[in-house]
Every structure is written in structure tokens, then in C-alpha cells.
Structure 1
Amino acid sequence: MAHTHTAKGYSGLMDWITTVDHKKIGILYLLASGFFFLVGGFEAILIRIQLAFPNQHIFVGDTFNQLTTMHGTTMIFFAAMPAIFAFMNAIVPLQIGARDVAFPFVNALGFWLFFVGGILMNTSWFLGGAPDAGWTGYAPLSSIADNAGNFKGTDFYVLGLQIAGIGTLIGGINFLVTIINMRAPGMTYMRMPMFTWTALITSGLILLAFPAITVALVELMFDRIFNGAFFDAPRGGNNVLWEHLFWIFGHPEVYILILPAFGIISEIVPTFSRKRLFGYSSMVFATVLIGFLGFMVWVHHMFTAGLGPVANSIFAIATMAIAVPTGVKVFNWLFTLWGGQIQFSTANMWATAFIPTFVMGGTTGVMLSIPAADFQYHDTYFVVAHFHYVIVGGLVLGLFAGAYYWWPKMFGRMLSETLGKIHFWTFFIGFHLTFFPQHFLGLMGMPRRVFTYQPGFGLEEGNFVSTIGAFLMGIGTIVFFINIIVTARKPADALADPWDGRTLEWAISSPAPEYNFKQTPLVRGLDAFWKEKMAGNKEMTPAEPVGSIHMPSGSILPLVMSLGLFIAGYGFMYHTYWVSGIGIGITFIAMFLRSVYDDHGWHIEPEELEEKGVKV
């Protein structure tokens, strides 16, 4: 009988490193993201200290290049991506009425691969210097290998991103399958919450975009470690090939980042306006269209690479076209707010601040889409201002909104609203102080990635204001972490539905029990939980009788597989191939064990259902 399996119970740290529960993996992603966010933010503040005054000599030359490279790479791959995966893990299965993701083991493997990739890359600081070729890693700058073997910076970039990229890729596949296959009865595609829709499109983009960066990184690895010539022009290679491969990944990547933020805003704005999202079907269509067009615009990063006027014109028009579905979204949010009973909770302050800030970033994006104008803007601080307005003013504001909104669902505790509002105002004002002046610095001709500038060109004021803003953002972030610590010391007494929410995740207790739903819910319309509340029901109508619930067993193998690749990475880097052999061997042994050992999981019986909640 299947019912004879008992739970393999771990507790404490062992429980967390063997877990396959999507809610715990979401929390692990959030912790890792928070750590890397602090690291990347610290690097940013060091950059701003160096640029506060002209002719400073604090971080010069290579050190400055290492700071800018690591700041960009850390923030995008190791702070923003895991934060998105944290919310996808914690919320998507709850929103579609599922008990877990489709492949719990793969979910854990995805997290550990990402994590060891990020750690591998950051160990470079202590092993001779960090990557210094810019976060975009342009060849031939990134393919110059130090034959003396002292400086391995870019090798850490190549191997760390490859390992983390595998983790992200399998995570994307996992959520694609979960959302397509695991929806509750009645949850048709056009009844899915907007956050689930954006998670679906994002997962599709990950599946299609990450292979391009994987190919690019493998080629760069061959150039650097095995003396290949993919990007070496004298031996028949091509530098521009790297730019194409990187940006064919890189532009969809920015939509991978921003779409989940759009989804978060589309959940929060209706909840705190007390009305349904305006134009739901057009929002879905706009999301799909943004995902589709995102693959057709990569050359706008390369207008100055000399591809010619025809190519530039085609990609310029495609880039301008993306503004249309994005505009549809913005107007739908505004119409949702229009006439609503708006409550300015901390979550909604972040969400409403997101809208005008993101529009500013989008406006400079349309300016940059004009090739003739881009020849002036390219590689100046105008571009830096643009993408920080969309990534920080878009993604990060959305992530903070999501954190305040879903914190009770993830941890069973409400973040302090007072500290939250202090966090909001310091961060928001600091953000605009930091990046608004950079538009003008760029228009005055200040190039990107320079570690100093001369006095007397009118660049002093803008840079000084920018540095003050960066410190304000830092203070805001510290307030957020204080808020988390204060909240963690309170008892876990959050209500199941503190915001009077509209979607399924608010129909179960906070934090969600281990099995999520005692009975799979029956979905009767868009905003499923709201529909039941309006019909006078206190909870969802079940779609099945109470029965025993099958649960997957935890496993240490995902961590072991990841550590194997971690070890192999160092072996390749230092040309000690027996170490690589050991590392890959460890990974293969773990894969073999996973294949031959058939783990059937365990069951929670109906009489146990009441007492099993997630303990954090």
C-alpha cells in the first residue's frame, strides 16, 4: 500500500537544505536574494563614493571596473532573478490551487545551482580579483586571458553564470509545466491571476533566452580556458558574435525581470482599489505581446556596432512597438485606480509609485530606440539613468511592493507599516536623487564606466547629488532589514486574508500549510476567492472530498549535485582537470542515485491535516 510510507523528518538546518517544499524554497530564494542585494548595493555605494567628486583616487582603474562589473552582474543575476523566483515559488502554486510545483526535486536543484553559481562568482574577490570586463562581458575585452595565471576574474564570470544559468533554466521549465498542468478545476487560462500569467510568460522567455547566453558563455570559456578562437578576429573569430549572442539573451532577460513586477502591480492595485483589474484580457494579451516582441529588439543595444541603416531601422521600429502593449498596461492600472476606494498601505504606495517611475524609464527607452539619437546617448550616463529607472524604478519597486503584500502569506507575520513607509520615502526619494541627475550628466557627455572626471565641465553637482541619493537608498534598505528583524521577533499571528484579497492564496491560512489546500478548490471565475466572498461564502468550494495527500520527500541530492559543479568550476579555472573530474563525478553519482533510488514520497492522512502547518 502507498499509505505505509512515513515522513522522513528532518528539523532545523537539515530540513532547509534538503527541502523540496516550494514555500521553503521560495524563502531560501528570498534570503539569497537579500544577501546578494546587500553585496550589490555595497558595490554601488563604493562606485558612487569614487564619483562623488572629480579627480578622486579611492577606487581607480581595474578596481573600479571590477566594482561596476560585479555590481551589474550581482544585481541582475543574483539579486533580481532570485527575488522573482522567490515570489514565483511562494505564490504561483497557491494562486493556481496546486499542492506543489510539478517537479519539487528540480525546484530545489534550481535553487542550489543558482546559489553556488553566485557564491563561486563572488569568491573571485578573494582569489586575485573580480571580473572586470563589464557586466555585458564584451569580447575581446573578456576573452583576453592572463597567461601568467594570476588574474582569473572573467573565468569566475563565465563559470559562475553558467552554473547559475542552468539553475534558472530548469526553474523556468518547472514553472512552465506547473502552470500548464497543475491548475485547479475551473482555473482556465483566462481565469488565472495576472501574476501567474506573468510568471508563465517569464518562464517561457527563460526557456528561449537562456540557451543563447549558455552558448555564448561556453564559447567564451573555450576561448579563455582551451585557447579557442570564437571571438579572436586574427584567427577567424568575430567580436560582434558575442554582442549578438549576449543581447539575444540580454533583451528578453530585461522582460524576464520586469514582467513579474508587472504581475505584482496587477495584483496589488486591484486589491487596494477594491475593484477588479480593468481590462484583464487586454492585460493578458499585452503580456504575451511584450514577451513575443522582446525577442525582436536585441540590436537596439548595438546601434553603434555598424550593422547598417536597414538593420538599425528595422530594430528601431520593433523597439518602439514594444511601447504600445506597455502603454496598454499603464492605462489599465490607472483605470483600475480611477474611481476605486484606494487604500495607501505600504504595498500600495510602492505599487502606485512604480507606475510614474516606470513610465519615466520607458520614455527614455523610446528616446534611445531612435538610432540617430542613440549615437549621441550610447555609452553615456543617459543609458545608465534609463535602465536604472526601469530596473530599480520598475522591478525593485515592484519587488518591494510584493514583499509587503505577500509577507504575511510567506511568514505569517505582518511587516510594520510605519517602518515600511519610512523605507518607502527614503528609498524612493533617494532613487530619484541618484538617477534623475544622471540623465543630464549623460546629455552633457559623461561616458559610462569611467572612474573619474575632470572639474570645470559642469559634472560636479550632478555627481554629488547622485552620491547623496545612493546613500539615501542605502538607508532605506537598512530600514527594510530592520523591519524584517523586528517582524521576525513577533508571534506568527497574521490573518489568512489581511488585505481582503481577491485570489486563491488568501483562501488558506498564513503561513500556508505544508500541503497548501486541504481540498483542491473549485474555481468559478476570475478573482476566484473574491467571487466566493461575494456569493457569501467564507471559503472556497472544494472540488474533491477530504482524502490523504501525497507529499514529496526531501533530498540532499540537489545540494550535492550543485556542489559537484561548484568544485568542477574551480578545476576548469585553474587548469587542474582532475579536480573538474572529481566535481563532475560527484554530480553524476548524485544523478545516478536519483535515478536508481525510487522515492515514493509520503502521505498526510485526513486526521493529521489539522495540525500540520509550515513552521518557519
Structure 2
Amino acid sequence: MTTQVAETGHDDHAHGPAKGITRWLFTTNHKDIGSMYLIFSLIMLFIGGSMAFVIRAELFQPGLQLVEPNFFNQMITMHGLIMVFGAVMPAFVGLANWMIPLMIGAPDMALPRLNNLSFWILPFAFSMMMVTLFMDGGGPNFGWTFYAPLSTTYAPPSVTFFIFAIHMMGASSIMGAINVVVTIVNMRAPGMGYMKMPMFCWTWLITAFLLIAVMPVLAGVVTMMLMDIHFGTSFFDAGGGGDPVLFQHVFWFFGHPEVYIMILPSFGVVSQVIPTFARKKLFGYHSMVYAIIAIAVLSFVVWAHHMFTVGMPLAGELFFMYTTMLIAVPTGVKIFNWVSTMFKGSMTFETPMLYSIAFVILFTIGGLSGIMLALAPVDFVYHDTYFVVAHFHYVLVPGAIFGIFAAVYYWLPKWSGKMYDEGLAKFHFWVSFVGLNLTFFPMHFVGLAGMPRRIPDYPLQFADFNMIVSVGAFLFGTSQLIFVFILIKTLRSGKAAPQSPWESAEGLEWTIPSPAPYHTFATPPKVD
């Protein structure tokens, strides 16, 4: 710090945060920006969750109960978009902002002003997307995958605002990802080679490359929609020589890497948490790194497994079936390594560890249903049923969301300098765990029995399971209020946390005081 002061001629004092609202509007500090991302994603989690409540309230009993079918479709669409782009992704970017500089011994992110911009785009993007619900014809009603022609020829007039909102989210993601890549490549502490980086940094580095590769594809496909709607092109209109299936190919070429973007940072979090509470080194570090890279590479050659029923040539079905099943191999390596890390460890079961163990078990269940869906012949039966909904919620909720919870409980003492209430946090975990399984497990059964996705009404034989699912959903959703209570209680009256609250946590983030000072690692640490 002193050398910097001498060079720039400032008064010799530490620069703390600005006062008032400008601290948050103009901040370039990675900790402030990380906190804003995390708070934003928590708000989005509740908005997206309230939309899921509308869906599950409608499906509590057969018959049209509460909402118009068209509004039901808007809730389905907005729930998916808000959870994916508003809750999960900003939460991981917030964790990256907070933790990557601390973990690699950097003073901040490499591009701090870009960092500020990438956050402040988001509230405007999501405000614009949600305000479409109040426009003539309502909001987007075509599902979060926005398949053409539902999203072009037959879309409500508000679709233009939706397209612009998606563009803004994509721009934000690209900026955030570039920032992560530059930070990790250029700002590691002396002595920290790539193979000494914490796993969370590795998973985020790969995630950032995936984002840079596929977000422009999403921008391309929504631009083609815009052209079809307003400028007379026929990319997705068979009447003008286009093809609606082209939309699906371009969308899923983005969409499949996107689902790995949502899970890889969770892999990183769990790879930090499990060794800490098993009190052992992570088993097979190098194989973990290679497995992440393999998953990332393979994620680009499996996209059409979402489209087995569109009428592909047999060779195409076989190719996408085999590549999809191949992804199970590096994923299996990771699960094996997590289990091996726990094997014969001196395990304790603090809340971050509970979330991580639940992650490993439930993510594996979601992976197994994924292998079932990868089999092209039987996918003709599963496609567009609740079995698919069960599958991707089993990988996204215990996968992404539980990974975020594990990370928050693990690093909260470092962020706030206070310990959370362990008893309450365990209560939050168990209620969430029960609610989650009660919600998503029965969906496998109604799906296999033939209940289609995205319908506001259903035949009588599905009634019992749907009632159970709805009760589980209300339990799971409401239990997140416990989480908010725990956060507020911690910040207000938590016990002071030591520098390293966990017995055998390793990494540079545990070498700094709790709470983490506003500026850290002004002089880079040496890594042996």
C-alpha cells in the first residue's frame, strides 16, 4: 500500500468504502460487487420461487383452479428464465467475485470497472423482462426454451422486450466471464501454478470459457428471432424457406453448455468443502481438473439429445446418444473422487458438509435419470413429460442451489466476521432436503405414467402425486425464509468468527482476518 501511496501522491491512509449509496453504485471493489450479486440473486430466487408457487398451486388439484392457462404459461416461462439467469448464474458470479481474488492472492478482479458494469446491467435487464407481465398480451408464454414459432409468429407483442432483456443478461455474463479469465490467468500469487489453484478457481476458469463461447450463440438466436418478428426474415418460418428445427439446434448449442455453466462452480464449491470437513486432501486433484475440462469439451457435442423426437437421421440419434453417455464418465470420476475424499476421513457434519453430501447423492440421482433420457429409443416415451422436469430439477436444485448454500455457509464467517447459528442452519438444511425430495421425486412417477410438461390441468389419475408435489414445493419454498432469517441473525448478532472457523480449511482466504478487510493482498502472498 505504501509504495502505491508514494507513487500517486495520495495522503497516507487506507482507502475504505465510500459513504452512502454511491459506495454501491460506483464501487469497483470485488467484495462489494460480489455481495451485490449475491443479494440480487437471493431476491430473484424469491421472485422465481413465487412463480413456482403459482404453478404448484394451480396443479394442486385437477381442473382449472386459480389462473388462466395463458398466465400459467407465462409463470412457467418466467420461473425458468428467472431461476436460470437471475438466481443461479448471478449467485455463482457473486461467489467468483468474492472468492477468486482471495483464493489466488490477488488484490481485486483484473477489470474492476467492467465488473461494476456487468452487475448494474442486471437489475435493468430483469426489470424489463418482468414488466412484460403487465403489457398487452402478457409476458413471454412460450417456455424458458422459447422455441420458434411460439416465440416468433405466435408470440405476444412483449417478446421484443424479452429479447432485449436476454441480450443484456448475455452481455453481463460475457463481461463477468472475461474478468474471471483475465484475473485467474494474470493475477495468481507468485508460486501458484495452475495445478496449485483451488478447485473452485479451476471450475470457474472453465465455466468462464464456456460462457464466452456460448453466450454469443444465445445472442445470435434471439437476434434471428428479432429479425423474423420485425424485419421480414424467415430463419425459423417454414413458409419462407426457414426451419423451426434450426431454432432448436442453435438454442441447444447454447443451452447444453449453459447447464454445465450452472453446475461446474458447484463442483468447485463441493471440492473445497468436502476436504475441509473430511480433514483430508482432495483425492485425485489432477484427475478432477482433467474431468472438468473433459465435461466442458463434451458439452459442445451433445446438444441434440434435447431433440431426439424431431426426426433426426439414425446416425445423428446414435452420435448424440453415445456422446451424452460419454459425459457420464468424467462426471463419474468426480463423484468417485468426492466419495474417496470422504472415505476414512475424520468427518464432521457442519452445515456446508451436509449440503455437499446431499449434493453428491442427489446430483447422482439426477445424473442417473439423465442417462435414461440419453437413450434415444426410450426418450421417445420420456420426452416432454414430467420425468424430464424431475431430471433437470434433481441436477439443478441439489446441484446448483445446494452448492450455493454450501458456499454461503462455508464462507459467510469470512465475509461477515460472524458465525451463523449452526442449529438453525441444520434445521434449514433438513427442511429443504425433505421438501426438495417430496417435490421432485414423485415427478418421476407421474412423468413415466405419461403426464406432459407445461400443462395447467391434468387427468384424474395424476391427482395424488401432484398434491404431494405441491405440498413439497410449498415446504421447500417456505423453508428458504429460514435461510434469510439465519443471514439476518448472523449479521446482527452472530458470535465473532475466528480467522479460520473450520478446523482444517486450507487456502489463502483463511490467512486473512475475519471479516475480510476491504482491501486484501495489496502485497501478493508467496505460495510454496
TM-score (norm 1): 0.82
Give deviations 1:11-46, integer Å, cap 9, x for gaps.
121111110111110000001100100000000011
Matches within 5 A, 1:539-578: none
Equivalent residue number for residue 450 of structure 1? 455
CA distance in 2, matches of 1:351, 1:157: 35
Matches within 5 A, 1:275-290: 275-290=280-295
Q: Is the CA contact 1:261–1:395 (under 8 Å) kept in the aligned structure 2?
A: yes
Matches within 5 A, 1:523-538: 523-524=527-528
Matches within 5 A, 1:485-500: 485-490=488-493, 493-500=496-503
- Kindly provide the amino acid, as one letter, of the partner of residue 2 in structure 1: E
Give deviations 1:409-458, integer Å, cap 9, x for gaps.
22222222111111101111000000000001000000000110121xx2
Between 1:223-232 and 1:42-51, the stretch displaced more is: 223-232
SS in 2 for 1:80: helix
- Kindly provide the amino acid, as one letter, of the partner of residue 176 in structure 1: V
Query: Is 1:48 matched up with 2:53?
Result: no
Q: CA deviation at 1:491?
A: 6.1
Query: Is 1:505 matched up with 2:514?
Result: no
Equivalent residue number for residue 472 of structure 2? 469
> What is the count of residue pairs matched by the alignment?
518
Equivalent residue number for residue 97 of structure 1? 105
Matches within 5 A, 1:378-389: 378-389=383-394
Equivalent residue number for residue 483 of structure 1? 486
CA distance in 2, matches of 1:240, 1:516: 51
CA distance in 1, matches of 2:282, 2:358: 18
Equivalent residue number for residue 300 of structure 1? 305
Query: Is 1:359 matched up with 2:367?
Result: no
CA distance in 2, matches of 1:521, 1:308: 57
CA distance in 2, matches of 1:144, 1:496: 58
CA distance in 2, matches of 1:81, 1:503: 24
Matches within 5 A, 1:85-484: 85-128=93-136, 129-144=138-153, 151-455=156-460, 458-484=461-487
Q: CA deviation at 1:279?
A: 0.7
Give deviations 1:238-294, integer Å, cap 9, x for gaps.
211111111001000010010000000000000001110011111111011111111
CA distance in 2, matches of 1:9, 1:269: 34
- Kindly provide the amino acid, as one letter, of the partner of residue 66 in structure 1: Q
CA distance in 1, matches of 2:299, 2:49: 28
CA 1:509–1:152: 2 relative to 1, 3 Å:
farther
Larger Rg computed on CA atoms:
1
Give deviations 1:128-165, integer Å, cap 9, x for gaps.
3221111000000000267xxxx433223211111111
SS in 2 for 1:459: helix
Q: Is the CA contact 1:114–1:168 (under 8 Å) kept in the aligned structure 2?
A: no
Q: CA deviation at 1:66?
A: 0.1
Between 1:291-300 and 1:406-415, the stretch displaced more is: 406-415
Equivalent residue number for residue 516 of structure 1? 520
CA distance in 2, matches of 1:491, 1:376: 52
Give deviations 1:314-335, integer Å, cap 9, x for gaps.
0110000000000000011111
CA distance in 2, matches of 1:429, 1:338: 25
- Kindly provide the amino acid, as one letter, of the partner of residue 99 in structure 1: P
**Gaps spanning 5+ residues in structure 2: where?**
1-5
- Kindly provide the amino acid, as one letter, of the partner of residue 147 in structure 2: Y
Q: CA deviation at 1:475?
A: 2.2
Q: Is the CA contact 2:421–2:494 (under 8 Å) kept in the aligned structure 1?
A: no
Q: CA deviation at 1:5?
A: 4.2
CA distance in 2, matches of 1:221, 1:388: 30
Which among 74, 83, 107 is matched to residue 91 of structure 2? 83
Q: Is the CA contact 1:130–1:156 (under 8 Å) kept in the aligned structure 2?
A: no
CA distance in 1, matches of 2:109, 2:192: 16
CA distance in 1, matches of 2:345, 2:173: 38
CA distance in 2, matches of 1:245, 1:48: 31
Which among 6, 20, 29 is matched to residue 21 of structure 1? 29
- Kindly provide the amino acid, as one letter, of the partner of residue 478 in structure 1: L
Q: CA deviation at 1:482?
A: 1.0
CA distance in 2, matches of 1:428, 1:195: 24
CA distance in 2, matches of 1:226, 1:275: 60
Q: Is the CA contact 1:132–1:154 (under 8 Å) kept in the aligned structure 2?
A: no
Between 1:17-26 and 1:229-238, the stretch displaced more is: 229-238
Q: Is the CA contact 1:117–1:163 (under 8 Å) kept in the aligned structure 2?
A: yes
SS in 2 for 1:241: helix
Q: CA deviation at 1:207?
A: 0.7
SS in 1 for 2:293: helix
Which among 59, 65, 70 is matched to residue 57 of structure 1? 65
CA 1:99–1:243: 2 relative to 1, 3 Å:
same
Q: CA deviation at 1:221?
A: 1.5
Identical residues among aligned pairs (%): 46
SS in 1 for 2:66: coil
Q: Is the CA contact 1:27–1:410 (under 8 Å) kept in the aligned structure 2?
A: no
Q: Is the CA contact 1:131–1:155 (under 8 Å) kept in the aligned structure 2?
A: no
Q: Which has the higher helix share?
A: 2
Q: Is the CA contact 2:217–2:253 (under 8 Å) kept in the aligned structure 1?
A: yes
SS in 2 for 1:313: helix
